[in-house]
Structure 1
Amino acid sequence: MLIFLAKRLVSGLVLVALIPSLAFLLMRAGSANVARQILGQTASEEQVAEKAAELGLDRPLVEQYLSWANGALKGDLGTSWFTNEPVLQAMLTRVPATLSLVIVTTVIAAVLAVALGLAAAYYKGWLDRVLQVLSIVGFALPGFWLALMLVVWFAIDVPLFPATGYVPAAESLGGWARSITLPVTSLAVGAVTATAQQVRGAVRDILQQDWVRTLRARGISRGSLIFRHVLRSAGVAGLTVLGLQFIGLLGGAVLVERIFAIPGIGQVLVTSTAQGDLPLVLGVVLVTTVVVVIVNLLIDLGVGFFNPKARLS
C-alpha cells in the first residue's frame, strides 16, 4: 500500500511542476505588450520600458520562470500586475467559493447517482427506462441554459433564492446554502445523470456474475448482497466517474460563476487570461492543479481499497 501511495504522490508532484510550467511558457509566448496594457495607450515608450523592467519582463525567459518558481516554493505567488493584489490572497478569498460549488455538487451527485443507478440496475423495468431518458436529457441540456432558466424560475418569477452573489459559510450558513442552491442545481443535473448511468452499468454487470448467483443460492439477504458485495465491487467504476466529474465541474463552474456573479477562481481565470496577468493566471493554474492532484490521490486510494489488485498496477 505504501508503494502504491508513493507512486501516486510522485506522479502528482510531477503534474504540479509540469502544468504551471507549460502555462508559463504558453502565456509568455502568446502575450502582447503587458506593460502597455497596464499603462494605457497614452503612456510613452520610456514609461512602458520602465514598467516592463519593473515587472521583470526584460529579463531572459528562463530567469523569469525560475524567479516565479522559487517564490512559489516559498509560498509567494507574486502580485497581480493589474490589481496589485497578492495572488495568494486572491486565491484564499476565491477558492472557497468555487470549492463550495464543486464539492457540494459532487456529494449530491454521488448520493443520487448511487441511489438511481442501483435502483435502475436491480429493479429494471420503468425505473431503468426513466434513467435512460434522464441521462440523455441531462447530457444534451446545456448547463448555462439551465442556469439561466433557474434564475428566471426561482429567483425572478418565484423569488425563493438570490439570483446573484455568494455568502461565505462563515458569515451565515443559511445564507451560504441559499446562495449556492441554484448554481449547484445547474451543475448537478448533468453530473447526477452521467454518474448514475455508469453506476447502473457497473451494477448490472456485477449482478450477472457467477459469484452473485452463488451468494443468492446460499440464501444471503438482499440487503447484505447489495450493500456489502455488489456496491463494493461497483465502487471502482463509481469513484472513477466521480473523479472525472469533479475535474469537469472545476471547468464547468467558470460559466456558472459568471452567470450567478460568484467570486470564484473561474471569473479570475477568465479575466486574468484576457489581460495577460501572468502571476494571477499561474496562481489559478497551480491551485487548480494541486486540488486535482489531491482529488485524484483520494480517488486512487478509494480504488485501491475497493480493488486490492489496483495497488499492484
Structure 2
Amino acid sequence: MLTFLMKRLVAGVVVLFAIACLTYALLYFSSANIARNILGEYATQEQLDAKSAELGLDQPLIVRFLGWLGQALTGDLGSSWFTGQSVAGALVTRLPVTLALIVTAIIVIAIVATLLGMAAAVKRGWIDRVVQTAAVVGDAIPGFVLAIVLVTFLAIQLRLFPATSSISPDSPSSAWTASLTLPVIALVINGVTGAAQQVRSAVIKQLEKDYVRTLRSRGISERVILFKHVLRSAAPAGLTVLSLQFIGMLGGVVIIEQIFALPGMGALAVSSTTLGDIPLVMGVVLYTVVIVIIVNLLVDLANGWLNPKVRVS
C-alpha cells in the first residue's frame, strides 16, 4: 500500500509541475497589456515601463517563472497585482464556498445515485426505464439552465430561497444553507441520473457473476448479498464516476456561482483571468490542481481498499 501511495503522490507532483509550467507560459504570452490594465488608459509610456519593470514583466519567461516557482515552493504565492491582497488570503476566503457547494452536491449524488442505480438493477421494469431515460435527459440539459429555472420559480416567484447569495466565511449556518440549496439542487439534478446509470450497469454486471449464485445457494439474504458483496464490488465504478463529476464541477461551477452570485473560486477565476492578474490566476490553478490530485488519490485509495487488484495495476 505504501508503494501504491508513493507512486500516486509522485505522479501528482509531476502533473502539478507540468500544469504550472504550461499555465505560466500561456499567461506570459498574453501579458502585454497588464500594465495598461493596472494604470488605466491615460498612463504615460514612462509609467507603463516603470510598472512593467516593477512587476518583472520585462524579464524573460524562464527568469519570471523561476522567480515565481521559488516563492511558491516556500508557500508564498505573491499578491494580486490589482488589489494588493495576498493570493493565499483571497483563495482561503473563497475556497470554502466552492468546496461546500461541490462536496455537498457530490454526497447527495452518491447517496441518491446508489439507491436509484441499485433499484433499477434489481427491480428493473419501469424504474430501470426511468433511470435510463433520465440519464439521457440529464446529460442533455446544462446545469446553468436548471439553475436559471430554479432561480426563476423558487427564488423570484415563490421567494422560498434568496435569488443571490451574500454569504461569507463567518456567516451563520442558516445563511449557508439558504444560499447553497438551489445551487446544490441544480448540480444534483444534472449529475445524479448519469451516476445512477453507471451504478446500475456495475450492479447488473456483478449480479450475473457466479459468486452471487453461490451466496444465494447458501441461503444468505438478498439484502446482505446486495449491500455487503455486490455493492462493494460495484463501488469502484461508482467512485470513478463521482470523481470525474467532482473534477467537472470544479470547472462547471463557475457559471453556477455567477448565476447565484456566490463568492467562490469561479468568480475569482473569471475576474483574475480577464484582468490578467497572473499571481492570482496561478494561485487558482494550483489550488484547483491540488484538489484534483487529492480527490484522485482518495479515489485510488478507496478503490485499492475495495479491490486489492487495483493496488498492483
Smaller-chain TM-score bracket: over 0.9
What is the CA distance between 1:137 and its match in structure 2?
1.4
Q: Secondary structure at the match of 2:14?
A: helix
Match of 2:25 in 1: 25
Question: Can you list the C-alpha shifts for 1:50-72, whole angstroms capped at 9, x where unaligned?
Answer: 00011011122111111111111
Kindly indicate whether residue 109 of structure 2 is the aligned counterpart of residue 109 of structure 1.
yes
Alpha-carbon RMSD across the aligned residues, in angstroms, is 1.0
What is the CA distance between 1:133 and its match in structure 2?
1.5
Match of 1:95 in 2: 95
- Per mean C-alpha deviation after superposition, the further-off stretch among 247-256 and 214-223 is 214-223
The change in CA–CA distance for 1:309 and 1:275 in structure 2 (over 3 A counts) is same
- Per mean C-alpha deviation after superposition, the further-off stretch among 206-215 and 161-170 is 161-170
Match of 2:225 in 1: 225
Report the Cα distance in structure 2 between the residues aligned to 1:277 and 1:50, rounded to whole angstroms.
17
Q: Secondary structure at the match of 2:219?
A: coil
What is the CA distance between 1:278 and its match in structure 2?
0.5
**Paired residues of 1:169 and 1:176 also in contact (CA < 8 A):** no
Report the Cα distance in structure 2 between the residues aligned to 1:167 and 1:47, rounded to whole angstroms.
39
Q: Secondary structure at the match of 1:270?
A: helix
What is the CA distance between 1:282 and its match in structure 2?
0.1
| One-letter amino acid of the counterpart of residue 128, structure 1 | D
What is the CA distance between 1:167 and its match in structure 2?
2.3
Report the Cα distance in structure 1 between the residues aligned to 2:3 and 2:170, rounded to whole angstroms.
39
| One-letter amino acid of the counterpart of residue 27, structure 2 | M
Report the Cα distance in structure 2 between the residues aligned to 1:54 and 1:247, rounded to whole angstroms.
36
Matches within 5 A, 1:173-212: 173-212=173-212
Kindly indicate whether residue 15 of structure 2 is the aligned counterpart of residue 11 of structure 1.
no
Matches within 5 A, 1:160-175: 160-168=160-168, 170-175=170-175
Match of 1:127 in 2: 127
**Paired residues of 1:81 and 1:277 also in contact (CA < 8 A):** yes
Report the Cα distance in structure 1 between the residues aligned to 2:166 and 2:305, rounded to whole angstroms.
37
What is the CA distance between 1:132 and its match in structure 2?
1.1
**Paired residues of 2:93 and 2:169 also in contact (CA < 8 A):** no
The change in CA–CA distance for 1:32 and 1:162 in structure 2 (over 3 A counts) is same
Q: Secondary structure at the match of 1:232?
A: helix
| One-letter amino acid of the counterpart of residue 269, structure 2 | L
What is the CA distance between 1:293 and its match in structure 2?
0.5
Report the Cα distance in structure 1 between the residues aligned to 2:185 and 2:45, rounded to whole angstroms.
51
Report the Cα distance in structure 2 between the residues aligned to 1:272 and 1:148, rounded to whole angstroms.
25
Report the Cα distance in structure 2 between the residues aligned to 1:59 and 1:32, rounded to whole angstroms.
12
**Paired residues of 1:258 and 1:267 also in contact (CA < 8 A):** yes
What is the CA distance between 1:169 and its match in structure 2?
6.3
What is the CA distance between 1:42 and its match in structure 2?
0.9
The change in CA–CA distance for 1:116 and 1:168 in structure 2 (over 3 A counts) is farther
What is the CA distance between 1:30 and its match in structure 2?
2.6
**Paired residues of 1:166 and 1:180 also in contact (CA < 8 A):** no
**Paired residues of 2:167 and 2:263 also in contact (CA < 8 A):** no
Match of 2:48 in 1: 48
Q: Which runs of 5+ in 2 are unaligned?
A: none
Report the Cα distance in structure 2 between the residues aligned to 1:174 and 1:129, rounded to whole angstroms.
38
Q: What is the total number of aligned residue pairs between the two structures?
A: 313
**Paired residues of 2:114 and 2:196 also in contact (CA < 8 A):** yes
Q: Secondary structure at the match of 1:30?
A: coil
The change in CA–CA distance for 1:256 and 1:60 in structure 2 (over 3 A counts) is same
Match of 1:312 in 2: 312
**Paired residues of 1:117 and 1:197 also in contact (CA < 8 A):** yes
